[in-house]
Structure formats: structure tokens, C-alpha cells
Amino acid sequence: MPLLDTPLELPAELRPRLGKARRAVAFTGAGISKESGLDTFRDVGGVWQQVRPEDMATLDAFRRRPAVVWSWYAERWGRASAVAPNPAHFALARWEEIFPYFTLVTQNVDGLHPRAGSRRLIELHGTLAWARCDFCGFRLPMGEAVAKSPDRPPVCDCGGLLRPAVVWFGETLPPGAMERATEEASLAEIFLSIGTSGNVYPAAGLIDVAHQCGACLIEINPEPTPFSRLAHLSLRAPAGEALPALTEAILACRPPNT
């Protein structure tokens, strides 16, 4: 489907499914935050074309050059804190009111989803909003940690170093996060894939799970992805345009108090 008209016309064959669905899952990647002013990771000019992941996003890099890695993440946290959630983030927060069972699964660490009001949230790759001790697990809001020590990682009371509470390459996901996300994807009647390349595993495997379990797949991405062929509806538009329009279109085909 091309860039959106207003209002969005849903395909007739999908309206009954979208109108009666009670379980929905949204899966978001860095593309949803691009309209807020944050870089994506794998697009042209994205984060991983500016720096190498092995230099800034591994535990080994942090242990070799803790001050460099901490300063880089402190800058990223500052950028994320300075921008605002966009209409796509706010639209997804509304889905918690529309569907009795809704889960938002995100690969993003920028904290824009909770700032927009999302509460039923699984942050697969952790969050920049917090720093944690790599030794004892103590957590501190990132703003406090950066204010205390902007140029090098603060030292915890246990003697360990605080680091961003994100998942680096080679690390496991937060305990139970992938299991919960997989269960929700397997139960979903609607599965949204928004602003993600579909190339980062195991997270991208959620799309396969939802497809195999019979969900109505809706993809929102300006460019095709490896999963576009599976989608029942593809919206080739920015998320900030597509998600509010999709939300209104779904509401229009749902009976009151569904």
C-alpha cells in the first residue's frame, strides 16, 4: 500500500478480524523513533555505520575502555532525553485502552514508549533510562548516574562499575523477556511489526511465531523487510503517520465497548 490517504481504508477482508480481535501485540524497532529525531541502527547513516558495535556495544569493550563507552552512552541518553515521543508512540499507548489484552514488545532502549504512556511493555534489549552495577546489580536512574559522573562510569558501593542497563552484543536478554514475548506473540490475533528491519534475532523470530499461530500481520515500515511477504497489510509510510491512521481505522470497525 502506498503512502497513506486520510482516512485509511482497511481491506474489506480484514475488517471483521480487526473489529472483533481482543489480543494484540506490537513489535517495534528503531524506525518508530526516527521521527522523534533519533538515529536508526542499520539504515544508511545509522548508528552502526558511525561506530563499530564491537567498540561500543560489548562487555569486552566496556572493560577495555570503560570511560569511552560510558561517555558514548551518556551522550546517547542525553539525546534520547531531549526528544519527545511522536504520534506513533502515543498511538500505541492508546492500544492498551482498545484491546483487553495488549502487549508492546520493543527492541528500543530510548525510553520513549513509557514516556508516551505505555505500561504493558517488554523491553527486550533493556533501557537507557537506568544504569546498573555489572557486579551486584544495583540500579540507578541514568540521569543521576550521568550527573554524578559524566565522563567515566560511577563506582558502586560494592566496588563494581555502573553501566547502561542495555543488552550488549553477546549478552542474554533480560530474564523471562523473550519467553513472555513469545507467549504473547503465539496468542495474538493482531501482530504489528513497526519500524524494524526484521534482521535482529532472536527478537525478529516473534514475527514468525505470530504468523505460524494465525495472527493478522500488519507491517508498518517505509521499506520492505524480509517479512513483508507474510503481511496481510503493509503500510509503506512513517510510523507517526501510519499508526494514528491505523488506530482510527480499527476503532471505526469495532463495536462500542469491544
Active site residues: 125
> pLDDT tens digit string along 18-67?
999 999 999 999 999 999 999 876 665 667 667 788 899 999 999 999 99
Q: Residues 6 or more apart from 170 whose CB is under 8 A from it?
A: 58, 59, 60
Coil, helix or strand at residue 193: strand
3-state helix vs strand vs coil in the chain, percent to 5: 40, 20, 40
Alpha-carbon span 28 to 34, nearest angstrom? 12
Prediction pTM value: 0.92
114 cis-preceded (ω within 30 degrees of 0): no
CA pseudo-torsion sign 49, 53, 55, 56 = positive
Q: In what order do the strands lie in the sheet with 126-133?
A: 139-141, 126-133, 162-166
pLDDT < 50: residue spans in the chain: 1-2
> Under CATH, what is the fold of the domain 1-38+85-125+175-258?
Rossmann fold (3.40.50)
Q: Where in the chain is the domain with CATH 3.30.1600.10?
A: 42-82+129-166
pLDDT, position 227: 87
* 42-82+129-166 CATH, one of 3.30.1600.10, 3.40.190.10, 1.10.10.60, 3.40.50.920: 3.30.1600.10
